[in-house]
């Protein structure tokens, strides 16, 4: 039997097989890398969307809280005004006997011929203005 001699360029064939294998492995690697990047992108996009939903919810809750705070401030101001009015009314009620006593004493002290046209009270000071028929009447009022 004669010896077998392979005249085909086996090195070129082996090189082409390696290049094909390298191309396939590179393609698969790129495909898998693309899938991983797509997965990461989708994951973070989902996280961003979820965070935006949470932010929107918090903004709505903040607006509701601000509206409630504004309403509470309005009610507090109204309450303060009512308390001030109640205090004024209470002062008037407390001073009513004094005012009645003042007018009663004033009527007793005024001589005939003396007429008051205005009476103004500021604190504990009372200012009276009026007319008299003669100066002697003023003297009798002051005396």
- Sign of the CA dihedral running 87, 92, 95, 96: negative
Domain of residue 75: give its range.
50-109
> How deeply is 111 buried, as exposed, middle or buried, from its count of CB atoms within 10 A (0-12, 13-18, 19+)?
middle
**Total structural domains in the chain?**
2
- Check: CB of residue 99 under 8 Å from CB of residue 121: no
Locate 108 and state its tokens: 């007793």
Closest to 118 (Cα-Cα) out of 107, 127, 109: 127
Tell me, yes or no, whether 105 and 119 share the same domain: no
Taking 70 as the threshold, does the pLDDT of residue 143 lie above it? no
| Per-residue DSSP letter, 123 | T
Confidence of residue 65 (pLDDT cuts 50, 70, 90): very high
Residue of higher predicted confidence among 78 and 94: 78
Tell me, yes or no, whether 96 and 120 share the same domain: no
């Amino acid at each position: 039997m004669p010896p077998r001699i392979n005249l085909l360029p086996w090195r070129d064939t082996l090189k082409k097989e390696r290049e094909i294998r390298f191309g396939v492995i590179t393609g698969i690697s790129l495909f898998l890398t693309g899938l991983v990047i797509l997965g990461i992108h989708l994951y973070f996009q989902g996280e961003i969307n979820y965070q935006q939903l949470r932010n929107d919810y918090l903004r709505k809750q903040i607006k509701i809280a601000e509206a409630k705070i504004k309403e509470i401030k309005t009610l507090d101001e109204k309450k303060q005004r009512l308390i001030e009015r109640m205090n004024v009314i209470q002062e008037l009620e407390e001073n009513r006997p004094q005012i009645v006593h003042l007018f009663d004493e004033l009527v007793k002290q005024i001589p005939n011929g003396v007429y008051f046209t205005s009476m103004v009270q500021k604190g504990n000071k009372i200012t009276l203005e009026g007319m008299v028929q003669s100066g002697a009447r003023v003297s009798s009022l002051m005396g």
